[in-house]
Structures are given as structure tokens and as C-alpha cells.
Structure 1
Amino acid sequence: MASIDDPLLLLRQSIAAGSKIIATTSPDSSDEAPLSTATHLIFTHPVRKAVPIDAATRFTSTEGKAVDLRSIYFAWLNHDVAIPEYNAVATKLNDEMAGSATVHMFAFVERLVLFTFLEGASEESEFIKPLAGDKDAATGAGTTATGAALKAAPATSGRAGRGAIDPRLAQIYDGERRMGDRNTVLRGIKPTDFSHVRKLAAPFMTRKPGQAPQPSAATAAAAANASLALNQKPARRPDPIILLSPSASALLRMSNAKAFLEGGRYMPPETNTSTSMLHISRTLKDIDPSRPMRFILVEGPEQFKPEYWNRVVAVFTTGQAWQFKNYRWSNPAELFKHVLGVYLGWRGDEPPEAVRAFGHKVLACSVEKWRDPGQLGAETSRWRDREVVEAIWKGIEANMRAKGWRKDAAPGAI
């Protein structure tokens, strides 16, 4: 019943089901209370469950500390809020609690991992410890008892957020023959020590005349360790980052970037938007033709760690120098030696003098001027938008290949 007892999974299942979550001052109460005075969270899906609001969860911060349920729930309530606004309301909540408790202020990467997990887009992360049930299932993988399969099935169903397993399906699992993997078939559930075989084989492994000497035990062990290191599961390739211009005069903002870069159609940006981060997908055939690559779009590097700059693949600019004030390279000439620059303007208008001064490191693109769709012939010119988008992605892909992006690896430095 890990899905019923784990606060993180309870919150994820409640979000998926759209069920109500109530902050109360008593486990038996249904009256909603402010988070500053609440002592419990009442979950109504899949069953009514009261969880202490200060209970530690499986989510660990970058400092290695377990994050409490109040901080997790508060971050989710503000998941559409920009990070500066989130930090402001978190500080206000801490002031209201006057030291009795403190909410954790999530960093940029922590928010990204947490929201991806709660929305059901990922199952595991370096910030989220596995459930105890997961470890038990892995330990008992080699047993032949059919009851283990029956117990593992509901836990798997709970992790996927689909509720308890169907009784008929459980009966079918109970009648299945457990096959096991190659390790359990060849070696059983306990590892076997074959070191004594080396002594028995030594008389038969004597060196013949002209034959190269046999490696020592230390050399053989080092080679075996190197082989194991090569066969380990490679680290997951990080998502590349695209920086948009925060200028109000920019044609491409957070509100219309997804429709343009992913859908191939330009729409004017909205003036009021609280979105601080976007995800878009694009298949880059010369880097990874087998699966789409996910890109992260942000307007500023305020929450960047130093290593995030190695993942920046493009910077959209309007030519205004203040945009680069907080960048790793505040000088545009130096910046565009490391990162591809992109300027998007209206067709027929000359790029600003500052953009032309940046040189060939900035890709200048133009889209047809926006006209009210109600006007006659307004839609006939929008077919060129996709042509512009393809040119932008072609430039980004070429720059990524040159910087060392591969199917399973990202560059260590740009």
C-alpha cells in the first residue's frame, strides 16, 4: 500500500484525478485553514487520508535534506508563478509562521524535477528517493514464489497512478509461472564466489615459449573494473536550453514561443503572462533521429547554476545590450562566440544597427507582419512562418553539432 502511505504519491494521484486537497488544523476536520496554521493535509483520492503537513517526503533538496509536505504542496500551488514571485510569497508565508516552521524555496532545477514528477511525465530522479516497496521488489526478483508477483503488481499500478489492481488480473498473475532473468537462472538469488577456480586453472595456464606474459592479478582486476565502468548505464543527456529576450518589444515571448517554434505559426505575444519556463520538443535528425529532443525555454538566467550555461544552445535577442547584463558573457561579441544568436523581425524591416554589428554569429530572420485574421488575405502569407522556423532550427542544430551535442551526450563546456 505504498501509494496510500507515501505523501508524494498521494499528492501526485490527487493532481491526476483532480480531487480536492484540504489543509486543516485537525485530522478529523474538513474546514480549510491557511497553510501557515494548518497541521494536516486531507487527501480525498483514492481514499480519505490525513497526513501531517510537516511530514518529510522522498524529495531531497540539492543540500541532501528531505523536503516537507508543506513545501511541496505550496510549490505546486504556485507552479504557474514566476520564480521571483514564488520567492516573494514563500518569504511572506515564512513570516506568517514566525519561526514555527519554514517552507523550502525550490531552486530552478528542483522546481523543474518536482513539477515533471507531479504531472506524471517522469517516474524517477536523482532528487526523489525510491519507495521501500521498489527496493523489496528488486531484492525478491529472483524468487519463484507466485505471491511475490501478486504483491508487486499493485505497487506498480500505484506508482503509475492507476489505482489498485483488478481482482481478476491479480488472479491471472497468481497463476503465472515466474521466469526470472539470466542472473537468477544461471546463479540463483545469491551471488556465487568462483575465485577458487583461478587456483585450479593456474597449472593449465602456464606460459609457452614466445608467448606474452600473463597479466598479474592486480592488472586483471583493474581491467575488469574498467570493463564494468564501460558497461554501466550512461548518464541521461540533459535538456538543452534556449534563452528568449525579456524585452517587451521582442516578437517572440513565452506566450507565443511554443506555437511558433513547435507549431510553425506566428502569433503576436500576449502582454500579460506568468509563465517562467516552457518545454518544447523537436527531432534533430543529425543528432538523434530516433526520438524528439526536449528543449527548455526561459527568459533570463537568474536561477542558473554555472554548469547550466554549457546547455544553452541559442539566445534570442533584439539587440538591446541590457539583456546580457546577468549573462555569463555580458559582452555580446564574446557571448556569440559561444552561443548562437537569433534575431526575429518583420519582413521588409532592416535589423537594428546593434544586431548588424554582432556579425554573422547572429542569425537574422524575418516573418510576415501580423494582420488581423479577419482581413481579406491575412492568412495567405502565414505559410512562410514554417519556412522561417525551419531555418532557425537548422541553425540551432548545426551549432549544437559543432559544440559536441550527441545522441547520448552533451558538451562539457561551450
Structure 2
Amino acid sequence: MASQPPKAELEDPLSNLRLSIKHASPPVLANSPDPSSSADVVDKLSQATHISFTIAAPGIEHSQTFEITTPTRFKVNDQNVNLRDVYFAWLNKDSSLADYIAAVTDLNEELPSGAGGSVQNLSFAQKIELIGWLSGEVESSDSIDPLGGAAGAAAAADSAAIAGGKGVPFQQNGGTVSTAGGKMVDARLLQIYDGERKMGDHNTVLRGAKPTDFSNLRQTAKLFFKSGNTPNTANPTNLPSRPLPPPSKPSRRHEQPIILLSPSPSSLVSMANSKQFLDEGVYIPPGATDASSTNMVQLNRIIPSIDPARPLRFILVDSTQNFKPTYWPRVVAIFTTGQTWQFKSYKYTNPAELFSHYPGVYVGWQGEEPPENVGQLGRGVLSVKVDKWTGNTSGRWRDREVVEMIWGRIEEGMRRRGWTRDGPGLSGSGSGR
């Protein structure tokens, strides 16, 4: 039989959402802090100002209402994410990256002015981490602050002190002791900790407690080596009989993924603006940037399905003039304007075959249809649109959504080809679809 959760958990909005999911009691969206009638209940998240939780389970009777914009313990970039954004992420837990980004855009357009700002677009890794905690698959997360922060810190300090052999202040009471934080610990356990041997650092372990004279080894060394450090072959019996270790295998070089940009002057993404667009999520036309011309651009990006902790370094080029055959398995995306002359020097000159091996990307203007030749390239080419340039970067929040869609396609292709931190899998240039 379930027991009533602690008071702190019942008063926390994030814990209320987790409890409602656990006990299959979906929350109710409302436009009133006290939704007592059906007129107070709304269907759309964009119309809600409050969210009400009612949990009825064996041993649990609880009801609580929160403002939809209440900050939660879930943090992104040290900023608390509000309850609406967290609940929205849960509703879209099964959506693909592209569908989730589209849903964020639709909800932002539906939100009335003064409703609390726009919905935060969580990255793939952040969304997975949040969904795992809400569903109960994991019990803790680095992005979620604990409920009992002070108590947890005190307990951690006591544990560290005990493990270090210092012990903690206590009052003995029979077979148990009370720590400074009031926690009961077995007294015999503390005695064992206090009697443990203290470990030294690498200096004390290697050097010992007193200096050691190794001069006698010099005489032994003369039996093996002549002057000039040449092995002594005059007396083979004095040569070491220890077999030579097997040669170590050469470590594989990290093969950095390559993104091919279109060399066409009509391309909206070129070497001049590619880093700012794909790295910072802000689009500025090539002619409006201050970037000097270069033959190669490098940027770092975390690909969660390959390594969620460390970013990969991508190389961006717009020419295959200096390409070696070994470079093609490293290509993870090809930007195009649909002009087939771009592919004459590529490994596959036929567009249908080319984009069956590598993901293609076409970037066009919002409100304009892509050229007919782009549609003829097939489904291997992702077509995205950016807002038209107005002369400044203000209000270009849609650019980030477009960039995330592009990276989502690139990550999908890398995952299918078995990419690791060292490079592509054995399948080489697998399907880009």
C-alpha cells in the first residue's frame, strides 16, 4: 500500500507532475486558480493560466493547483524551466525532433500576449533526461535540484568525513550514534572507519617512509650494458631472458566529420556565414557578415547519440578539389541549391545516388517555394526555410529551430552509419535517408 509522500514533495510542482504520471492521474488545465466548474477548464495549453493536480491512490489523497509559469527544479543553463514547458515536453515525449520543434513553433504562435513568454525549446539530450526522471526510469538528474538541498549537503559532508577516517561529532546511545545532522549511524561502523589504514598519495607510496639507496643497482646494470648503451653480447648468459612485449596496436586517429557547403553564389549558406548559422543559430546573409574568406571552417557540436558529454569537431568546406578517397566516408551532410553542376567532382555524380548515401540540405527563404530542381533531388534532401533578412538580427528566434532541424537530420545519418568519436562505422558511407 502506497504511503503519503512528504509535504515538500506534495508542494513541489515538478514532483506533482511526476506523481500524476506515476498514478495515471492526468492534470487539468484551467484558466482559474480554483477550477471548481467546467467553465474553468480549458483544452489547449496556450489558453491555460493554471494547472491542477488531483491524485487519488491507495494511501494518497492530494490536490494542488499551480500557475502554469511556476518555475520548477529542472534547470537548463542554470535557468529554472517553468511548469508549462516541462509539461509540454512530457506531452511530446514520443515526438521526433522535427515534430517537437514544429509543435514548439505552433504553441508559441498560439500563446496570447502577456501569457508568460514563449515556450523554451529543449535540446534532444535535455528532453530525454527530463522524460526519464518524470517517468520514473531514473531517480536523480544533474539538471534537477534536490528537494532537501540543505539536508542533502549535510549528509554528504558527514559521509565524506567518515570515509576520510575523521569521524563526525556524535552522541552514543546504545548501539547507535547521532551525527551532527541528527542522523542515526551504527557506532561499530564509525569505529571501523576510525581504525582504517590511511592511504597515502603517489609520492609516499613510491618513495616510502625513508630514503632508499639504489647505488648497488649500478653494478648489476654493468652486467647488461657496455658504455654507449649497447647490449653486452660478449657474455650471453648475462643477457635478460625476459621476452619482449608484443608491439602495441597503433591507435586510430580521430576522423572529424565533414560538411560540404554549396559553392554556388546563390546559396544562402556559405563559408562566410556557416559558422554563425550552424553554431550560434543566427542567420545573416553571406554578404552582410564581417567574416573574411576562408577555405575551411571548424565548429564544435555535441551529438547526443554519439557522445552526450563531449562535442565533436566538424569541418566545413565548399570544394572537393583537395579531397582524398578516404574523406568521403567522413562526409555527413551536403548543402545544395539544386544545381547539378555542383556534383560533377563528387564521388557520386548522380543526385539520386548521391543523396541515398549522404543527407542533403537545402536552405531557402520563408514564403518562397524551393526551385523545381530541388524537388527533383528526392527525399534524401531536407528543405528548410529561414526568415527573410531585414537588416538586423533582432527577432530571428526561428533561425535556431531551423538549425536544430538540420542537426537532427545530420545526427540521424551519423547514427545510421555507426559513427563513434573515432569516426564512421565499418559501413562507410551508409544511407543518408
Higher helix share: 1
Higher strand share: 2
Which of structures 1 and 2 has the bigger CA Rg? Answer: 2
TMscore range, shorter length? 0.3 to 0.5
Give the TM-score of the pair, scaled to structure 1: 0.44
Give the TM-score of the pair, scaled to structure 2: 0.42
